[in-house]
């Protein structure tokens, strides 16, 4: 089981603890987070607007204006809102969760066939021991590529290359989910364009050939949930996140200097702004710190669809946005450059974009000094 696997990977030193769900238990040292990061009980719920997508798409003018007002207000404050009546077939999402349950309860050697290598963005990862030396997340993940241009590759291809026909039914579900979530993502960025006074086609064009990441998160039960974190505090470096939680709570968001919960609502998606889209709005919409906590009773699963522009798309806030909110705050960049920073040099937190700008300038100077092609 995953817990056993994590325990093995960190068995070298453990910390005997006094409190929690069971008296005698160990959490490997590397999974124990510093006190200031440890989860707390009794958090307030974050009040996020419930955005009815069908009502917005087919509603009257006042429905449209109300939706725009609610989304704009939430994105300017913390970047989170709930999407309901979204048109996605939840039977497909149920199948996705069934594939997740089957995959993450495979024997470790089966999962390890998809092992994600350092610097790579896709595949299976557990404990992240290869990437981080401490503050390890109590989770296993499977990251699957989704490319809107099916001529290039499919999520099914990715799974087939590793498992052949054995997991073909998983690959098909991942691809089908990717297709509906990619379409949903385009509707979301069009809505955000309307909120910002940007022609909706402008944002659609950036993401219509998206090269996205479907991240499957599996959080095994932890005997000492008050000592660790399922996913550490971070801002998503990506553009738009479409998150589906199962029935187990765990998502927390840091707003007004306090952690808040967003309880699971299995028929809706949690939508949040990532760093890349914050840059595309010249900082007007916020990419907000969030994390996931675990519990000692049951596993938790979540699927995060990270919408990203194609590799060659230049991320540059439209003039319509910058004119209303001068000056221009971010250099032009492409998503693969920010992704490389997070995969090889910088663990995503609340300052990833701040760290990215000097790193990018250094890369561009290096390219100039060595007379090689600049990263952009």
Ligand X SMILES: O=C(O)CCC(=O)C(=O)O
Ligand Y SMILES: C=C1C[C@]23C[C@H]1CC[C@H]2[C@]1(C)CCC[C@@](C)(C(=O)O)[C@H]1[C@@H]3C(=O)O
Binding-site ranges for ligand X (CB under 6 A)? 215, 217, 231, 236, 243, 245, 250-251, 290, 292, 302, 304
Q: CB burial class (10 A; 0-12, 13-18, 19+) of residue 183?
A: middle
- Position 339 contacts ligand Y (CB under 6 A): yes
* Catalytic member of 69, 131, 300, 347: 300
Binding status of residue 300 toward ligand Y by CB under 6 A: no
Residue 299: which of 241, 233, 217, 231 has the closest Cα? Answer: 217
Question: Is residue 356 close enough to count as binding ligand Y by CB under 6 A?
Answer: no
Of the candidate spans 56-64, 202-210, 233-241, 321-329, the one that interacts with ligand Y by CB under 6 A turns out to be: 233-241
- Beta carbon of residue 302, minimum distance to ligand X (angstroms, whole number): 3
Cβ of residue 160: shortest distance to Fe ion, in angstroms?
Answer: 28
DSSP-derived secondary structure letter, 343: I
Give the nearer residue to ligand X in terms of CB position, either 125 or 194: 125
Tell me the C-alpha distance between 107 and 125, whole Å. 14
Q: Are 174 and 96 in contact (CB under 8 A)?
A: yes
Q: Does 49 bind ligand Y (CB under 6 A)?
A: no
Q: Is 300 a catalytic residue?
A: yes
Integer distance in angstroms from the first to the last C-alpha of the chain?
A: 44
- What is residue 33's DSSP assignment? P
Q: What is the largest CA-CA distance in the chain?
A: 62
Place of tokens 């000592």: 227
Q: How many CB atoms lie within 10 A of CB 125?
A: 21
Does 237 engage in binding with ligand Y (CB under 6 A)? yes
Nearest distance in Å: CB 251, ligand X: 4
Beta strand spans in the chain (E): 14-16, 26-28, 50-52, 80-84, 123-126, 140-147, 211-219, 231-234, 240-245, 251-255, 258-261, 269-273, 290-292, 300-307, 314-315, 333-334
* Site string (141-180) toward Fe ion, x via CB under 5 A: ----------------------------------------
What does DSSP assign to residue 41?
S
234 binds ligand Y (CB under 6 A): yes
Nearest distance in Å: CB 257, ligand X: 20
Nearer to ligand X, 154 or 217 (CB): 217
Cβ 35 to ligand Y shortest distance, Å: 20
Number of residues that bind ligand Y (CB under 6 A): 15
Which listed range, 78-86, 105-113, 167-175, 228-236, lies at the site for ligand Y (CB under 6 A)?
228-236
Residues labelled catalytic: 300
Question: What residues line the site for Fe ion (CB under 5 A)?
Answer: 236
């Amino acid at each position: 089981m995953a817990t056993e696997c994590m325990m093995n990977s960190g068995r070298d030193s453990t910390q005997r603890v006094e409190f929690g769900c069971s008296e005698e238990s160990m959490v490997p040292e590397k999974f124990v987070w510093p006190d200031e990061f440890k989860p707390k009980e009794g958090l307030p719920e974050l009040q996020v607007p419930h955005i009815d997508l069908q009502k917005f798409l087919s509603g009257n003018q006042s429905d449209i204006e109300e939706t725009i007002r609610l989304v704009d207000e939430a994105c300017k404050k913390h970047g989170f809102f709930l999407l309901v009546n979204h048109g996605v077939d939840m039977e497909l999402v149920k199948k996705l969760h069934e594939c997740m349950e089957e995959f993450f309860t495979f024997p470790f050697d089966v999962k390890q066939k998809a092992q994600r290598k350092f610097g790579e963005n896709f595949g299976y990862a557990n404990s992240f021991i290869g990437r981080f030396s401490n503050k390890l997340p109590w989770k296993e993940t499977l990251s699957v590529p989704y490319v809107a241009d099916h001529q290039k590759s499919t999520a099914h291809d990715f799974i087939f290359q590793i498992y052949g026909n054995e997991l073909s039914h998983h690959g098909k579900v991942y691809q089908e989910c990717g297709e509906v979530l990619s379409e949903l993502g385009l509707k979301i960025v069009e809505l955000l364009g309307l909120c910002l006074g940007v022609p909706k086609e402008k944002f659609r064009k950036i993401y219509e050939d998206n090269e996205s990441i479907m991240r499957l998160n599996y959080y095994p039960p932890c005997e000492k949930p008050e000592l660790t974190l399922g996913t550490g505090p971070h801002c998503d470096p990506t553009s738009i996140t479409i998150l589906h939680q199962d029935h187990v709570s765990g998502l927390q968001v840091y707003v007004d200097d306090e952690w808040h919960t967003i309880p699971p609502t299995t028929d809706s998606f949690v939508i949040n702004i990532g760093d890349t889209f914050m840059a595309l709005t010249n900082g007007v919409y916020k990419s907000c710190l969030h994390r996931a906590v675990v519990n000692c009773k049951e596993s938790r699963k979540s699927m995060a669809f990270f919408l990203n522009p194609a590799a060659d798309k230049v991320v540059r806030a439209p003039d319509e946005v910058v004119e209303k909110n001068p000056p221009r705050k971010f250099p032009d960049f492409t998503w693969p450059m920010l992704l490389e920073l997070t995969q090889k040099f910088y663990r995503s937190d609340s300052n990833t974009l701040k760290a990215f700008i000097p790193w990018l300038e250094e890369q561009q100077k290096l390219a100039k000094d060595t007379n090689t092609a600049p990263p952009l």
